[in-house]
Chains A and B, each alone.
Chain A
Amino acid sequence: MSNSKIISAWKGGLSRATANFKVVLFMYLGTFIAAFLAAYPLKNLFESVVGKSPMIGDLLSRGFDYTFLNDFNNNYGEAFGPIFNQSFVLVILFLILMVFFQGGIFSLFKNHPEKYSASTFWPNCAKYFFKMLRLSLFFLIIHGIILTIFMVIYWNITQGLSPSKLESETIIFSAFWTMLPIYILVASIFFMWQEYAKVFLVRSESKWVLPSIFSSLKFIGKKFIPAYGIFILNLLLFFLLLGLFRLINSFPPNTGLKILLSFFISQIYIILRLGLKLLNSGTADALFNNEVVSDK
């Protein structure tokens, strides 16, 4: 029974994601522009400061070059500061953009699950922005608390990594590798909850965020197995995608052509990765639709 619900919802999510693939392109464009704005000054910095250094010639073949990076950092390192600060700001801006997109995405799923509609997407991005922002902040705190709990448990198990207290270092690593999958599985519940809260937020048209949070919690409480099953399925897809990317992109980019090829593969990965995010949202909406709307 659960399996069929999972499959049905996953198919629904997939159709939602493919129908609204343009949204993935918007998100991708966001990453592209932000990454460009971060990387371009770095390229200019290298070119202007050491562009004529004979060491540059070796960078292509060596790739990571400790001496180059170390000498650069020691002699011109202050120039890195503004670039990294700007990159940090760009990441934050991108995350805000993602928050902005959430209202539009779930409105599309609600109103036009089969076809992208710009007139639905953009106004609803704006309409739900502040609610989605509050929701994101709420869950950011929740995720922080979960992570802190796990870190405290780990810290206690490993007795603060103290050499004078531990019998051996084995516990440091075994506890880490044992707790990591447990953390992923537990944290997944809260990430999943976040997706359903967004579904409820858009579907309920509530003025406040909290009712959606509670309603979604109630919903995943009732439909935990299919909801969690779908989320884990999507998570496995993510690991599969990551593995494939690592495998395909494992060659050293030591010629102009290889740099281009590696860059191209990375872009495909980013698009698919964002597609997975949309799929994850789509499956949540589809399950909600199958379980609540259809029942009505």
Chain B
Amino acid sequence: MQIVPLHMGRVFSLFLIVMIASGLQAQTDKRFPEPLSARTSNYDIDLRLDIEEKKVYASQTMTFRNPSSDTIWTMPFHMYYNAFKNNRSDFFLESSRVPRDISEEDKKNGTWAWIKVTEVKDSLGNDLLPESAFVQPDDDNKDDHTVWEVRLKEPVLPYATYTLDMKWESQIPRLMIRTGYSKDFFFMVQWYPKLGVYEPAGSRFAKEGAWNCHQYHGATEYFGEFGVYEVSIEAPKEFVVGASGFLLEKEEKGENAIHTYLAEDVIDFAWTACPRFEEIVEEWNGMELKLLIMPEHTCNKERFLASAKNSFTYFEENLGKYPYPTFTIVSPPYYGLRAGAMEYPTLITSPTLCDLPEGIRTTETLTIHELTHQYFMQMLATNEQEEPWMDEGFTSYYEGKILDKYNDGVVSFPGLGLQIGGAEFRRGRFFNAENIQVNPMSDFGWHFKHGSYSQIVYGKGAVTLHTLEGLVGEDVMKKIMRTYFERWKFKHPCRNDFLTIVEEITLEENGTVSSEMVMSFLDQAITGTEVCDYKVGSIQITPVEKPLGFFEDTENPEVLKEGDGTGLFKSKVTLFRMGGIMVSQDVDITFDNGETIRETWDGKARSHDFTYVRPEKVIAAVIDPEGKITMDKNLLNNGIVEEQENTGIMRYAAAFFTQMQRIMTNMSFLI
């Protein structure tokens, strides 16, 4: 009888060991069983963060697999910290607002940031440093050192694998935009020598195999190759560290701790460190949701987590499941606000303020937006520098949809009657641009030299996709986006690849709107600068008289007699195309007997009319009555309703009236 408990104890101990072991296994076994991507560029980096000197010392092994039949003799690397090396870099020259952020003291002390490689060798031990140099593929600005080209002694043979070992160090910039440090907060992005993307002939716009490696510009930064990153970060042990991917192991080393992270099938790797982070971890839907948040911001933790869960749920239902085992939201401190709201693989930043009213959905908006980038530019790895709208436009489109579905928009104060929808807010921001025609949406990011970058790239991109959805219908749109995701995830699509899918599906679906018209609209919206504006010009009604005068009989004219009216009216509805964009339009015509008929206009001519001879008069004509074409810049002129009920205007006028009175009485306090 006494043996039994002993046996039980042993069994229990064994069970416990197995459980712990399997737990450990689970901890480390977040690797994908099969690669999700081609894993072309893989990095193994060991780094030490020096918090006193604000420096990083690192050794890096980069393995590149040639995806082409080309023989490659060079390798360009992004050295983006050199954007902060001097005030003549493209980044500073293009972002006129940024240099002000470097204090006078820093200028006097020569405090600029940089990254330099101190050693680079190939697998045969050849020293490649002497043959390497900074290059400027985008311009002739020799002061810009953000792209560094390594000239190889042994070429990379077709489809072969090539390894480079490097040692490098960097001076971390003060946080002025996206990356750097502020006090004890470190946000490290674009922080290592990162290989460009080799584009074989036929991929995206490449006619022949070539590297795609742009300099660091003010507005754009992403285009990376898929790979596996194993990064060991040595930092003081009181620092809480967060990074792309998942924690493989953590070990202490004196006063420091080494955090080893593994991120698979990602295009980049970002990390952060701060001793003040509170770490909130939640297992949800088979993944680990992590929130690195300041103690003063924990009041909003549920808003972050709910936004993330809502977004992932939405994408799972509408696009595709998020495949990664982790997702980390970094909510920076106020002094780290310039890390901004940014997106990196499996890790985003999303600032928050607890004192803002809950009706202002900034926390939700930023979280949803940055999370959406996990799909658009991370998994669907478009070239954000060359086609920023395919990243920000798609993201803004989904941001609006998710906000409207789960959060009642970007601003919601039902008690005050104040509500602004997510999609309408994006549309508004586009049309509020100083010049919505300044560049085509398809332009490279840094070609927007005269403003309106974000309004066009984000706003017009979102409005274009909303209009596409309006034209083809919600279900077809969902099919388009799902197909786009399934076909191009973990690859590098360009706009042509998306357009091919749109054409394919609209032809297949054969909906009410022709594929040709949809493609024509997209072409105008993406590569053109014209605006879209349709207008109902007038409704003219005239009584139809009986025929008067001479007809066959030239002796006895037809004359008007008492009671000779036809009882018919000629109603003419005139429509105008005010803008350059041509898109077919539904037009609802309503008669005074309450009947409404739906007409279609191909929208190509500058004007068009619908004429009716009926006993009923036309009382209303409305272009695009279902509001499908949000690209229309003036929705107010889309219709004419005769004898319109103007109580709505009275509501506005009365509100303005009483507001004026309140201002006057309040100001009379000064008298």
A interface residue numbers (CB < 8 A to B): 27, 30-32, 34-36, 38-40, 42-43, 46-47, 49-60, 62-64, 66-68, 70-72, 74-76, 87, 90-91, 94-95, 98-99, 102, 136, 139-140, 143, 163-170, 172-173, 191, 250, 252-256, 259, 262-263, 266-267, 270, 273-274, 277
Contact = CB atoms under 8 A, between A and B. Distances in A.
B647 A35 contact: no
A66 B182 contact: no
Q: Is the interface of A mostly helix, strand, loop or mixed?
A: helix
Nearest to A59: B648
Contacts of A98: 668, 671
Given A57-B644, A263-B654, A67 B424 contact: yes
Nearest to A55: B636
Interface of B: 174-175, 182-183, 294, 296, 333-338, 353, 355, 415, 417-421, 424-425, 427-428, 431-432, 620, 622, 625, 633-642, 644-658, 660-665, 667-671
A163 B653 contact: no
A60 B417 CA distance: 11
A94 B664 contact: yes
B96 to A, nearest CB: 19
Nearest to B419: A64
Contacts of A256: 647, 650
B431 A166 contact: no
Given A52-B642, A99-B671, A173 B660 contact: no
Given A31-B664, A46-B649, A168-B334, A56 B658 contact: no
A139 B634 CA distance: 47
22 contacts: A35-B658, A35-B661, A46-B649, A53-B639, A55-B638, A56-B646, A56-B649, A57-B645, A57-B648, A59-B652, A60-B651, A70-B432, A71-B634, A74-B633, A75-B634, A76-B636, A98-B671, A168-B296, A263-B654, A266-B662, A273-B665, A274-B668
Contacts of A253: 651, 654-655
Q: What's the dominant secondary structure at chain B's contact region?
A: helix
Nearest to B653: A43
Nearest to B176: A164
A29 B577 CA distance: 48
Nearest to B429: A70
A140 B669 CA distance: 11
Contact of B296 (A31, A55, A170): A170
Contact of A53 (B644, B663, B668): B644
A99 B669 CA distance: 11
A32 B636 contact: no
Contacts of A72: 636
A70 to B, nearest CB: 4
Contacts of A262: 654, 658
B670 A140 contact: yes
A85 to B, nearest CB: 13
A191 B335 contact: no
Nearest to B643: A52
B654 A259 contact: yes
B654 A166 contact: no
B637 A53 contact: yes
A165 B649 contact: no
CB-CB nearest 5 A-B residue pairs: A59-B648, A43-B653, A39-B657, A35-B660, A60-B648
